[in-house]
Structure 1
Amino acid sequence: MIDYYDWEGGREAMLRFGPDTGPVIVAALPLFEEANRTRTFVVTLLRALAERGIASALPDLPGQGESMIPTEAASLADMRGAFAAVPGEYTLAIRSGALLDDGERRGRWHFAPQQGSELLRELNRLRQTGGTDDFGGNRLGSTLLAELELAITESARIVRHETDAKAADFKVPGAPLWRRAEPDNDPALAQFLADDIATWVRACEG
């Protein structure tokens, strides 16, 4: 269902899934091009959670998705403020979406979280490879770039692919969708992760 939420900078759209009662998970897509590559997968994951009786919301954030705010005018502080304004007890973030995971929540679940400095290095490589002033097709403001340099993620339950050498609370099979050339989906992985998230939420709820 399409819904809306308000934050101090205006109103943005969001998708809602699952029941009208019980805890709500607020999801954050990765920033920029990786959002396009993972959006279908995240929607599949949130629908799988709905099948398990867990509600969720997938908000557009300032400068992202269908937001009326241009990407180059958005700041990380605005994105975080908007994300924090979405009602929900828990968060689910993919890759650099973990950098947006701000606000008072009962628990955080991050899949392959990316620190701001890591994202900035990737963006600079894209700009150098493309030989242009943009970053893989995105025009980014100086404020956002400066914020990313220092941005770090909050403490969370960390899940990663088995091929990722970094530490994690849980590791899963499969290949990173954000590394593929085109948007793709992995329904089997979505079901697998939905089981982990549902178990985690119920443990947090006691």
Structure 2
Amino acid sequence: MKIKQLIPCALIASIPFVMVNAKDEYRYIETPIADQISDLTDDDKDGVVNARDICPGTPMGAQVDNDGCGAAVNAQEERELRILFANDSYEINPIFANQIQTMAEFLERYKSASIQIQGYASQVGDPDYNLELSKKRAHAVEDQLLSYDVAPKRVTIVGYGENRLEAQGDDETSHALNRRVTAKVVGLKEEVIEEWTIFTVIEK
């Protein structure tokens, strides 16, 4: 009986000795450096490397398939632009310049799209004068848009004067809302699905 009791004690006493030796058996090994032979460059940052990206230049944030191409839908897409003007003026306030630039960048990206610029006026003043004023406002936006090298044939102008009022009131706020230019991108044969608004800031 005494011998049987000594055996477990001897085993327990030997455990620290084994653990010390274990440290010597499992020494730290430096992490090996991988020999990367494939080109993993992804210029358009869509998650698909250049080597198998058959649609380079996909817009940032677009949903892409395994080939790096944007998910497409066959439908006419509309993008809106909205600019307000002072009374009896067709001068574009600099605060709206970014909208026009962003629209120009959109047209540069989607070559199939065209834009229709629509000018409006408030009911203050003579209707015929307001009709001409609405056209001048639309042309002012057109001129600034074309300064970004947008082809003139992709832009059409419509002046509605004081027709199609957005606000029906006779107060200054209503008149201010009606002195406007809007623009719609039409004829887009294919849309790359992406999160985008006219106010989106595109990182350079």
TM over 0.5: no
What's the TM-score, normalizing by structure 2? 0.23
Structure ranking higher in strand proportion? 1
Q: Which has the larger radius of gyration?
A: 2
Higher relative contact order (CA 8 A, sep 6+): 2
What's the TM-score, normalizing by structure 1? 0.23
